[in-house]
Structure 1
């Protein structure tokens, strides 16, 4: 009985030759570049150019497109050369009101961000480790502020914690005097937490849910308790989403306007409200631009964590 199997030489001929990778043509790269060019030009025209123009105005370059606002504005410092002047920055950083508002902005951002992160981690961990109806209810309630406009939420917080608000009325029934938090920085922190919590819960919960259950079970089998499992396994594996949620929360709070405008005091207040007052009420646009770039520097420092988190995520996935 003869065999029907092909000979070794024939089997080698049936294997298709491996195709060598061809380098991308210059035309393909050009097409990709021109497809990405419209949004880049749009951002450069409507975002980048005004930023450059405002920075020039803040250092006393008052000619060209800055001439009109420099003529209308009060207390405008003008540079004698093309290199600009830091007179407006020196004036603001020697202004005690500005320094107080800057300190308040940093403190409110830190306290609100830490509170939001603590609540988001608590809800996300409860949903991951316990589950059930109560966990789903908590996560659903945390998303509710996402569908309520910030103006309405700020007004509700203001009336809720005012001198004739709900809490004062309830405590007055039992003969207790609840503090008035309306028009205080406490109300600003409460409003900042309220508006920032939904995104943080969504981001942190999705990151925690992506942690494999097998890793958690392995840690428990090795004798790790709940706290050790959370600290050593779950949070490190979900570090990138947690860092991204933290940076977005902090950047949103440091430049917020509506919540501190409605619920905060006249002074001190956050820089978002202060720069609006300097621009419209005090007619000092150059000083307002100095505040804006101060907030920009703070936000850029926070955004560095976001860039690092994305770089780390790409490196772990082998894209870098």
Structure 2
């Protein structure tokens, strides 16, 4: 990490010596020990700014939808017993056991112009049904599908740890289901929910396979852009600057995770 950071500032020695001998368009210090020219080049690039915006939008939208769906599924598993809840529990974790590349190609095929969705719509006379393959919408759908199982498991475990006596006591005093949700279940499941949201956001920010296969050629997320900058254009210094930007975005999301861990540890100490 240190050598990578130093490479973005113009250091071509040590671990960076080999890559610097074959890289193109490097920025080396002319006055002083470091240079910020690589950062200036990247952060003034319209392509990078477009990909950065796409990455943020995909991460925020996908994480929000994942959390809403995960809470709905976890509540169903917690308070509904029967074949339907068991079926939901099984289906909810299926994507966890499917490799990302297989899931990505399945999404491309499913939403292709001749895929299942468009074919089914055509049977009902809707010939102009939208296709989501090779679009940002497809990336969002894939991100939700692949990250939902972990969030469901985390929130389900949190809900399972809520004492049944608290819920029954709230029912006895006349608390509605909505009030029980916001005054008992949500506060007591805050830490698992924050952890699930944090890991979901970080995973989406750094994703490569899904946006590379499902996403568009241009205006895609930072993962594919970093790869093409490094391998196709032979500009590892600029790709490393983008990696620093991804790390900074992930660090923002990690703040909530650190807070949740601190709160959980403090609560555990107080309960002893």
Same fold by TM (over 0.5)? yes
Deviation string 1:37-89 (CA, Å, 9 cap, x unpaired) is xxxxxxxxxxxxxx111111011111233122122111100124664111111
Q: Which residue of 1 aligns with 2:148?
A: 197
CA RMSD of aligned residues (A): 1.4
Q: Which residue of 2 aligns with 1:307?
A: 258
Q: Which residue of 2 aligns with 1:217?
A: 168
Q: Which residue of 1 aligns with 2:85?
A: 135
How far 1:127 moved relative to its partner? Answer: 1.5
User: Which 4+ runs in 1 deviate beyond 6 A?
Assistant: none
Q: Pairwise mapping of residues 266-281 of structure 1 onto structure 2 (< 5 A)?
A: 266-281=217-232
Greater relative contact order, per chain length (Cα 8 Å cut-off, separation 6+) = 2
Question: 2 CA distance for matches of 1:264 and 1:227?
Answer: 39
User: Of 222, 232, 235, which aligns to 1:284?
Assistant: 235
User: Of 178, 181, 184, which aligns to 1:233?
Assistant: 184
Which runs of 5 or more structure 2 residues have no equivalent in the other structure? none
Q: Pairwise mapping of residues 4-23 of structure 1 onto structure 2 (< 5 A)?
A: none
How far 1:97 moved relative to its partner? Answer: 0.7
Q: Which residue of 2 aligns with 1:114?
A: 64
Question: 2 CA distance for matches of 1:82 and 1:312?
Answer: 44
Cα separation, partners in 2 of 1:73 and 1:209, compared to 1, 3 Å: same
Question: 2 CA distance for matches of 1:129 and 1:163?
Answer: 40
Question: 2 CA distance for matches of 1:232 and 1:81?
Answer: 60
User: Of 120, 125, 147, which aligns to 1:170?
Assistant: 120
User: Of 83, 86, 100, which aligns to 2:50?
Assistant: 100
Partner-residue secondary structure (3-state), 2:93: helix
Question: 1 CA distance for matches of 2:22 and 2:115?
Answer: 43
Which runs of 5 or more structure 1 residues have no equivalent in the other structure? 1-50
Q: Which residue of 2 aligns with 1:15?
A: none
Note if contact 1:278-1:285 (Cα within 8 Å) is conserved in structure 2.
Answer: yes
Question: 2 CA distance for matches of 1:249 and 1:96?
Answer: 27
Partner-residue secondary structure (3-state), 1:288: helix
Deviation string 1:240-276 (CA, Å, 9 cap, x unpaired) is 1111111011100100000000000011000011000
